[in-house]
Amino acid sequence: MRVARFVRIRRPWRNWDITALRRNLGVYVHIPFCPAICTYCDFLKFGPKRPRGLDEASYESSLLREIEARGAWLTARLAGTGRRVDSIFIGGGTPTMLPAADLARIASELMSSFPTAGGPVEFSCEANPDTLDQEKLAAMHESGVNRLSIGIQSSNDRLLKFMGRTHRWAETVPVLEMVADGPIRNYSFDLIYGLPNQSVGTLLESGRRLLEFRPPHFSAYWLVPEPHTAYTRWAMRYPQQIPSDRDVLYQQHAVECLLRGYGHYRYEVNNYAMPGHESMHNIRYWQGGDYIGLGLGSASRLGTAVVSNPKSHIVWNTAIESIGSADDPLGQAMAELDPKASAPPADSFLQLRNRLGHELSGQSVNPRWITGGLMEIHAGRLEIRSKGLNLSEQYSLEME
Ligand code: SF4
């Protein structure tokens, strides 16, 4: 197994290239298919039961049309502006449900249709362990993917079953060995905490097992019951089984301490990384920056306008035909902008979700935030300390 180097850097977020994040654009691609539906999931996804006329082959064909048309449209708009696409994220759903050749075709089309030339591109793809193999790994790598985000969630089979996950730990281990020794050197694992009957010991055992594979990036999510999920219905029947906020905050702190021992720092509410391995696509969402969404239900942001693709595949197919026409909502949003201008900073509520925080321009800062060790002022910015990340909503209300 090759091991990522562990380097301590003071204030690593100061190295983020925010100017490039706002000047350039990201692209998000949604693949909405999953082998089964997890009990807690409220994303736009389809298990084995799908709307009539929606399958992998028809979806891919529509997606390739959208990539080609939107890529040509954006290339024309950005010509001569010095702006380009520098982050791509294929998410879902479970993108690795697609065959290797199809993943490679989508990745290659993205790289060639969008204006990516002129510098590096952070190109991420989400994967689940039971749909990832050597062939897909090689195909993605050869097509430009240089970052993997793998949904493991736990190493405990009882909890995996409770969550409705389709993998089990014994079959996950060889996949993680393959990833750790594979060609894509930047990879991230997901972990979930705040589950019913999940002790701190069980959680840390999962964390330690995953960290043995030395992921340079790690995501840890607090399981919150979302409306209309099987988990929420269960939680309403057994409310006494849901851990208290205090217990879950303790779990979160335990995960952070564990990760710190492996050279990670918490750079965003749910994300940890070794310095230099933070997801720039993720930071673009919170710090500001334009992005284009492709696929069912995907959101795009241009300037301050947010436009979402339809959630019905029938309506989406019609919308693809309108790209470049007067009926194209993204075209209308772009027409309001100076194509040469960088995106404006995100609003302070979003910027407070990561350590870099935001520039201070005359706002008063509640002294409690500073004395309480939640935030600090550094070089004209309100920067967030790790324990301040949980409270960003409250801060933004007080800032208004
Ligand atoms: S694999 Fe991910 S997208 Fe699919 S159902 Fe589970 S949580 Fe949702």
Ligand 1 pocket, residue 384 CB under 6 Å: no
* Pairing, β 290-294 against β 271-273: unpaired
> Domains in the chain: how many in total?
2
- Tell me, yes or no, whether 268 and 377 share the same domain: no
> How remote is the CA of residue 211 from the centroid of ligand 1, in Å?
22
> How remote is the CA of residue 36 from the centroid of ligand 1, in Å?
8
Residue 230's nearest CA partner among 37, 35, 33 is 37
- Tell me, yes or no, whether 146 and 273 share the same domain: yes
Last residue of a domain, one of 287, 322, 337: 287
Residue 343's nearest CA partner among 13, 83, 112, 39 is 83
Q: Is the pLDDT of residue 67 over 90?
A: yes
Residue 316 lies in a domain: no
| Beta-bridge partners for 375 | 384
User: By mean pLDDT, which of 100-104, 327-331, 352-356 is the weakest?
Assistant: 352-356
Query: Residue 6: what pLDDT?
Result: 56
Question: pLDDT: is 130 or 366 the higher one?
Answer: 130
Residue range 18-25: mean pLDDT, rounded = 96
**What CA–CA distance (Å, rounded) separates 122 from 17?**
13
- Tell me, yes or no, whether 275 and 369 share the same domain: no
> How remote is the CA of residue 237 from the centroid of ligand 1, in Å?
23
Residue 28 lies in a domain: yes
Residue 376 lies in a domain: yes
- Tell me, yes or no, whether 109 and 238 share the same domain: yes
Q: Is the pLDDT of residue 5 over 60?
A: no
**What CA–CA distance (Å, rounded) separates 77 from 344?**
18
Confidence tier at 399 by pLDDT (50, 70, 90): low
> How remote is the CA of residue 333 from the centroid of ligand 1, in Å?
31
End-to-end CA distance of the chain: 50
DSSP structure class, residue 166: S
Percent of the chain with pLDDT over 70: 96
Residue type, 350: L
Q: Is the pLDDT of residue 369 over 90?
A: no
> Of the residues 39, 41, 191, 228, which should be mutated to test ligand 1's pocket, given the most ligand atoms within 8 Å of the CB?
41
Ligand 1 pocket, residue 287 CB under 6 Å: no
Residue type, 283: I
What's the domain range around 146?
Answer: 12-287
Average predicted confidence (pLDDT) for the chain: 94
Residue 318 lies in a domain: no
Query: Residue 2: what pLDDT?
Result: 56
What are the DSSP calls for 69-120, one per residue? HHHHHHHHHHTTTT--EEEEEEEES-GGGS-HHHHHHHHHHHHHHS---SS-
- Tell me, yes or no, whether 263 and 395 share the same domain: no
Atom of ligand 1 lying closest to residue 47 CA: 5
**What CA–CA distance (Å, rounded) separates 113 from 135?**
24
Q: Is the pLDDT of residue 62 over 80?
A: yes
Give the domain CATH number at 133: 3.20.20.70
Q: Is the pLDDT of residue 7 over 60?
A: no
Residue 256's nearest CA partner among 390, 128, 62, 60 is 390
- Tell me, yes or no, whether 179 and 273 share the same domain: yes
pLDDT tens figures, 129-152:
999 999 999 999 999 999 999 999
User: By mean pLDDT, which of 173-177, 227-231, 364-368, 376-380 is the weakest?
Assistant: 364-368
pLDDT tens figures, 76-108:
999 999 999 999 999 999 999 999 999 999 999
Atom of ligand 1 lying closest to residue 165 CA: 6
| Beta-bridge partners for 126 | 149
Ligand 1 pocket, residue 46 CB under 6 Å: no
